[in-house]
Amino acid sequence: MSLLEAILLGIVQGVTEFLPVSSSGHLCLMKQIFHIDTGGMFYDVLLHIGTLIAVCVVYHKDIGKMIVAGLSIIRDAAVNVGIFAGNRIHSEKKPYRTVVSNSYRKFVMLVIVSTIPTGIIGVAASDLISACEEILIIPGICLILTSIILFISDHIAEGQKTPKNTSYTNAFVIGICQGIATMPGISRSGTTITACLLTGMNRKFAVKYSFIMSIPAILGALVFEIKDVDFAALQATEIINYAVGTLVAMVVGYVCIKTMLIVVRKKKFTIFSIYCFVLGILSIAGYFYFI
């Protein structure tokens, strides 16, 4: 993979990760059309790390508060274990601390619940996902599914749910949707935002939830892929190309997050729905043309 190819894929990843048109589908199509060999899934994960950094920059205040809330959950849970032991040993009835006591603690728990099905699906279907990336018709079909999902999104009534009144069942279902969206051609952001809206979340929180819940999923994918990387075999030029592509994905991704916030608020998914439908048809036609 040349530096130019690395930059091109970085731009594609940055644009398509946050605009609801499927980054995995576009990366798959780009690699097949231009015969780009990235050496496996590792570079794809690095590109997602670039866009993950963009998420962290945009939502740094929320993420900081969630980290504090997560540590507080662990602390209070540990204290409750001590209280439970003391009550059992000394026959006391000391009150327990409320672990999920505010919106940010609830937000943390919701993201954890969503991550569980995503992780299970991602690991269980990893070989299937890799195989599907090699068949042009699969991203085409999935892009058409994305088109339908986006069309539905624009016609969902505005919800009012925030972390406080979002259920863990809602979070689990959204996590399943994120796991399914690992298929090339199904937009992760489009699918999860639509799922959030269908559960009754307000649009601002739906976007925030979709982007922040991607963080543990991407980190998990990195851990899953990094164990198979032979770092000793990597050449200096490859490392530079990887780093430049990741940086490009981060910068472009930051701009596209800001764009996406406006798009969702104004219900402008229809144009992306049409785009995905047309691209899906072209991909399917290309498959039958080249076989």
Find the Cα–Cα–Cα–Cα dihedral 240, 249, 191, 204, rounded to 10°.
140
- Give me the domain span that covers residue 267: 3-290
**pLDDT tens, position by position, 21-61:** 877 777 777 777 777 776 666 777 788 788 889 989 989 99
Say if residue 71's pLDDT is above 70: yes
Task: With CA atoms as reference, report the closest residue to 134 among 24, 223, 43.
Answer: 24
Q: How far apart are CA 181 and CA 191, in angstroms?
A: 7
**pLDDT tens, position by position, 3-32:** 888 888 888 888 887 788 877 777 777 777
pTM: 0.82
Say if residue 148's pLDDT is above 90: yes
How many residues are recorded in the chain? 291
Q: Are the C-beta atoms of 185 and 30 separated by less than 8 Å?
A: no
**pLDDT tens, position by position, 73-132:** 999 999 999 999 888 888 778 899 999 989 999 999 999 999 999 999 988 887 787 777
Please measure the distance between the N-terminal and C-terminal CA atoms of the chain and give it in whole angstroms. Answer: 25
Which stretches of the chain are DSSP H helices? 3-18, 23-33, 42-58, 60-90, 103-124, 126-132, 137-153, 168-180, 188-198, 203-212, 214-226, 236-265, 270-290
Into how many domains does the chain fold?
Answer: 1
**pLDDT tens, position by position, 229-248:** 666 666 777 788 888 989 99
